């Protein structure tokens, strides 16, 4: 039972003992003073004056700052980025969803002078509690209105809050993942640094200039 | 000499060593196992029935959740069946990409199997964490490819959903350099250690004839010296353009099963390197004019199998011309590899029960579906 093989195994555990850890501290990680001052962008002296407790802790490497987990831009988080201005209410996403958890109610709404009649979206509910984040709805969307989000910290204590409705979707951060959105990868859009402000930027096509839009709608007959 | 009386013990279903929710009624005589009665079905989710009311693309998300440590291989098996049913000609780049992805998944699955063997032997934690650490780097690659680590619906009929991002290829090279070292370490831990040797060599021997009769496939069969690998015998995708070696062992005991898994993962690295050499730029899936989102295959049935990480993984699909399969049946390799559990365990000691059970490398998500 006992032989040199045990020592060879112990050698491997010894080598691994001195390896750099592969684990990531989450949600906070402990830092020393230089990193804390860099994180707060304050000089160490100011740090001691403003937040003495964490500054003293940082002398022992015990001050805590939030940890940002390295993620891929295609990461499918448990939220959605939705652009109401792009959505036509065609309900392709609702039809393509394997679980049928997207509820869309539309009504013949406003009339846009330039585009003609369009539907107004009354209800756009996604039941996150039953969603499995397969991303098929995003694949089905023909107008690039619905995108997977990249954030994943959405836990609640109430089950009703897991249903995200139109207001939540409109007010949430527009940090879409590039899952099935090759235009974001071509543009090298990083959802962890920047946010999409304008709904034109989320589409597959270039944003038309104002002049060309005028050509299209006003000076068409000239 | 005191006489002993057989004792029946209920193991599971909520037992940490049963790799899921599996129940065994084991009768012991002293330390010796006299009878084993497996009871399963605690993780039954009705995936096959659910598939009948989903479209062909939506069923893909169910296959992710069958064998959740090798979902990429489940996807591949299902997509091959759909392509055969709907006569879809896949795009070459998509096929190479899904071969790379599925071989990566095979490495990850074998890492889990090997790590849990040492865990079952009683080495709590440390060796398991070595293999899980290495698996994590492979899951990072999947996150780059498809945004999910485990339930990755990456494949589509005709190829994959999107091309690999640019940062994937250097990361893949790095992982391919690391993986052989990780297996060197695991092999050093596994095959050099006298305690592991004495507890696995010669335990739970199955004869090749009985394994063939019970239609056991995969590393378990190759550990008995039967050269049966569907990648070689019935090449799917582009495996006919790939040279690889099929590791065999003759002793068919617990040690052989894990030795075969480690060598097979090393071969997977070589297969991925050949795939990288042969991959060429191009579309990764046919256009939606050729393969629409809503597939309507002609009426008929098809069976298509691949060499999964645990054995032959096949999908039997029947189409009635509609948008959803009329019937979907899965030939789950874990379930069929379980058939000889009783023969494996009778006459062994109580200590070896979970080691032999773990050496099947079964996944309850696939057994119960």
Please tell me which of the candidates A1, A73, A148 has its beta carbon nearest to residue B195.
Answer: A1
A73–B165 CB contact, under 8 Å = yes
Q: Do A12 and B143 touch (CB under 8 A)?
A: no
B residues 33-52 closer than 8 Å to A (CB):
none
Number of domains making up chain A: 2
Residue B220 has pLDDT above 80, yes or no: yes
B165/A185 touch (CB, cutoff 8 Å), yes or no = yes
CA distance A191 to chain B (A): 13
The average confidence (pLDDT) of chain B is 87
A105 lies in some domain: yes
Chain A residues with CB-CB distance to B46 below 8 A = none
Query: What is the model's pLDDT at position A37?
Result: 82
Report the first-to-last Cα separation within chain B, whole angstroms: 48
- Rounded Cα–Cα distance for residues B267 and B138 (Å): 16
How does A44-71 read in b/e, with b if 16+ C-beta sit within 10 Å? eeebbeebeebbebbeeeebebeeeeeb
Q: Does A212 fall in a domain?
A: no
- Residues of B within 8 A of A139 (CB-CB) are 161, 293
Lowest mean pLDDT: which of A194-208, B42-56, B279-293?
A194-208
Nearest residue on chain A to B54, alpha-carbon basis = A98
CB pair distance less than 8 Å for B185 and A12: yes
pLDDT of residue A136: 87
Q: Do residue B147 and residue A134 have CB atoms under 8 angstroms apart?
A: no
The parent domain of residue A174 ranges over 80-202
Q: How does DSSP assign B239-303, residue by residue?
A: GGG--------SS-SHHHHHHHHHHHHHHHHHHHHHHHHH---S-SS--TTTS-SS--PPSEEEE
> Do A36 and A102 fall within a single domain?
no
Do A53 and A124 sit in the same domain of this protein? no
Domain final position from A38, A68, A98: A68
Q: Specify whether A172 is located in the same domain as A88.
A: yes
Q: A174 and A105 in one domain? A: yes
B295: closest CA among B83, B51, B61? B83
Mean pLDDT to the nearest integer, B40-68: 87
In Å, how far is B301's CA from the nearest CA of chain A? 23
Same structural domain, A186 and A109: yes
Question: Hey, is the C-beta of B193 within 8 angstroms of any chain A C-beta?
Answer: yes
A3 in a structural domain: no
Q: What is the pLDDT of residue A112?
A: 66
Contacts of A16 in chain B (CB under 8 A): 126, 130, 185
> Within an 8 Å CB–CB cutoff, is residue B131 touching chain A?
no
**Is the same domain home to A93 and A128?**
yes
Determine which of A14, A133, A134 to mutate to test the interface with B (most B C-beta atoms within 10 Å). A134
Least Cα separation, residue B346 to chain A (angstroms): 25
Q: Do A54 and A153 lie in a common domain?
A: no
Report the alpha-carbon distance of residue B13 to residue B20 in Å, rounded.
Answer: 8
Which of A1, A3, A4, A9 to probe the B interface (max B CBs under 10 A)? A9
Q: CA torsion, points B176, B180, B183, B185, in degrees to nearest 10?
A: -120
Which chain B residues contact residue A4 at CB under 8 A?
Answer: 192
B293 touches A: beta carbon within 8 Å? yes
pLDDT higher than 80, residue B154: yes
Nearest to B147 among A13, A132, A148 (CB): A148
Residues A96 and A36 both lie in one domain = no
- B16-35: pLDDT as tens digits: 777 778 888 888 888 888 88
Element (H, E) at B39: strand B32-39
Q: If you count residue pairs, one on A and one on B, with CB atoms under 8 Å apart, how many are there?
A: 82
* pLDDT at A208 exceeding the cut of 70: no
When mean pLDDT is compared over A13-22, A203-212, B93-102, the highest value belongs to B93-102
Chain A positions touching B57 (Cβ under 8 A) are 96, 136
ipTM of the complex: 0.79
Chain A residue with CA closest to B150: the answer is: A134
pLDDT of residue A106: 85
Per-residue pLDDT band for B255 (boundaries 50, 70, 90) equals confident
CATH of the domain at A102: 3.30.70.3270
| Residue A99 within any structural domain of the chain | yes
Gyration radius of chain A over CA positions: 25
What mean pLDDT do residues B33-60 have?
Answer: 87
Judged by CB atoms closer than 8 Å, whether chains meet at B193 and A22 is answered as no
Give me the pLDDT at residue A207, please. Answer: 64
Q: How confident is the model at residue A113 (pLDDT cuts 50, 70, 90)?
A: low
CA distance A210 to chain B (A): 33
Same domain? A87 vs A188: yes
Residue A167 is assigned to a structural domain of this protein: yes
Domains in chain B, ordered, with CATH? Answer: 46-368 (1.10.645.10)
Report residue B318's pLDDT band, with 50, 70 and 90 as the boundaries: very high
* Confidence check: pLDDT of B286 > 60: yes
Within 8 A of A79 by CB-CB distance, chain B residues are: none
Query: Over the stretch A44-62, which tens digit does the pLDDT of each residue have?
Result: 788 788 888 888 888 888 8
The residue of chain B with its CA nearest to that of A186 is B165
- Pairing assessment for the beta strands B32-39 and B23-29 based on DSSP bridges: antiparallel
CB < 8 Å to A175, chain B: none
CA distance B220 to B215: 11
In a domain, residue A45? The reply is yes
Chain A residues close to B293, C-beta within 8 Å:
96, 139-140
Q: Are B38 and B22 in contact (CB under 8 A)?
A: yes
A135 & A158 share domain = yes
The arithmetic mean of pLDDT across residues B226-244, rounded, is 87
Domain match, A51 and A148 both? no
> Which residues, 6 or more positions from B260, have their beta carbon under 8 angstroms from its beta carbon?
B219, B222, B223, B247, B248, B249
**Closest residue in B to A140 (Cα–Cα):** B293
Which of these ranges, A159-173, A191-205, B181-195, B212-226, has the smallest mean pLDDT? A191-205
B188 interface with A at CB cutoff 8 Å: yes
More confident residue, A218 or B128: B128
Domain end (from A68, A98, A124): A68
B-chain CB neighbours of A148 within 8 Å are 147
Contact B188 A9 (CB under 8 A): yes
Return the axis-axis angle of helices B92-120 and B254-278, rounded to nearest 10°: 160
Are A154 and A51 in the same domain?
A: no
**Minimal-distance CA residue of chain B relative to A98:** B58
The pLDDT of B309-334, averaged and rounded, is 89
């Amino acid at each position: 039972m006992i032989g040199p093989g045990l020592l060879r195994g112990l050698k491997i555990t010894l080598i691994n003992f001195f390896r750099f850890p592969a684990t990531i501290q989450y949600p906070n990680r402990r830092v020393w003073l230089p990193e804390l001052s860099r994180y707060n962008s304050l000089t160490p002296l100011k740090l001691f004056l403003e937040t003495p407790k964490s500054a003293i802790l940082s002398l022992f490497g015990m001050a805590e700052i939030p940890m940002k987990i390295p993620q891929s831009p295609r990461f499918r988080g448990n939220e959605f980025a939705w652009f109401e201005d792009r959505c036509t209410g065609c309900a392709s996403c609702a039809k393509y969803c394997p679980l049928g958890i997207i509820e869309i109610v539309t009504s013949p709404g406003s009339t846009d002078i330039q585009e003609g009649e369009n539907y107004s979206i009354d209800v756009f509910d996604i039941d996150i509690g039953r969603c499995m984040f397969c991303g098929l709805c995003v694949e089905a969307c023909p107008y690039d209105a619905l995108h997977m989000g990249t954030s994943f910290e959405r836990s609640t204590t109430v089950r009703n809050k897991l249903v995200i409705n139109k207001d939540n979707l409109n007010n949430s951060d527009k940090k879409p993942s590039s899952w099935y959105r090759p235009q974001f990868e071509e543009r090298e859009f990083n959802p962890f640094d920047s946010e999409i402000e304008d709904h034109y930027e989320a589409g597959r096509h270039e944003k038309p200039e104002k002049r060309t839009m005028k050509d299209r709608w006003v000076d068409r007959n000239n | 000499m005191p006489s002993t009386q057989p004792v029946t013990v209920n193991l599971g279903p909520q037992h940490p060593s049963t790799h899921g929710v599996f129940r065994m009624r084991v009768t012991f005589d002293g330390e010796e196992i006299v009878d084993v009665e497996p009871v399963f079905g605690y993780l039954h989710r009705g995936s096959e029935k659910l598939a009948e009311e989903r479209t062909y693309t939506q069923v893909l998300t169910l296959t992710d959740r069958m064998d959740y440590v090798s979902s990429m291989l489940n996807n591949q098996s299902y997509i091959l069946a759909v392509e055969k049913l709907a006569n879809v000609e896949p795009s070459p780049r998509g096929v190479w990409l899904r071969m790379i992805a599925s071989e990566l998944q095979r490495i990850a699955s074998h890492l889990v199997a090997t790590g849990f063997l040492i865990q079952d032997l009683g080495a709590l934690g440390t060796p398991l964490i070595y293999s899980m650490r290495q698996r994590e780097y492979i899951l990072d690659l999947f996150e780059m490819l498809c945004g999910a680590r485990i339930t990755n619906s990456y494949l589509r009929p005709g190829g994959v959903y999107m091309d690999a991002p640019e940062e994937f290829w250097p990361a893949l090279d790095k992982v391919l350099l690391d993986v052989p070292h990780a297996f060197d370490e695991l092999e050093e831990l596994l095959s050099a250690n006298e305690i592991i040797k004495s507890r696995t060599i010669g335990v739970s021997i199955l004869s090749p004839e009985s394994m063939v009769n019970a239609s056991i496939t995969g590393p378990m069969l190759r550990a008995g010296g039967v050269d049966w690998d569907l990648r070689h015998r019935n090449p799917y995708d582009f495996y006919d353009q790939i040279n690889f070696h099929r590791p065999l062992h003759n002793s068919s005991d617990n040690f052989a099963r894990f030795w075969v898994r480690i060598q097979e993962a090393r071969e997977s690295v070589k297969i991925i390197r050949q795939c990288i050499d042969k991959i060429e730029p191009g579309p990764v899936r046919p256009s939606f004019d050729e393969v629409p989102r809503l597939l309507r295959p002609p009426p008929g049935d098809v069976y298509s199998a691949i060499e999964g990480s645990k054995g032959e993984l096949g999908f039997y699909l029947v189409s009635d011309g509609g948008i959803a399969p009329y019937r979907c049946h899965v030939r789950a390799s874990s379930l069929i590899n379980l058939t000889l559990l009783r023969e494996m365990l009778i006459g062994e000691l109580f200590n070896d029960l979970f080691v032999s059970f773990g050496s099947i490398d079964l996944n309850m998500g696939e057994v119960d579906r």
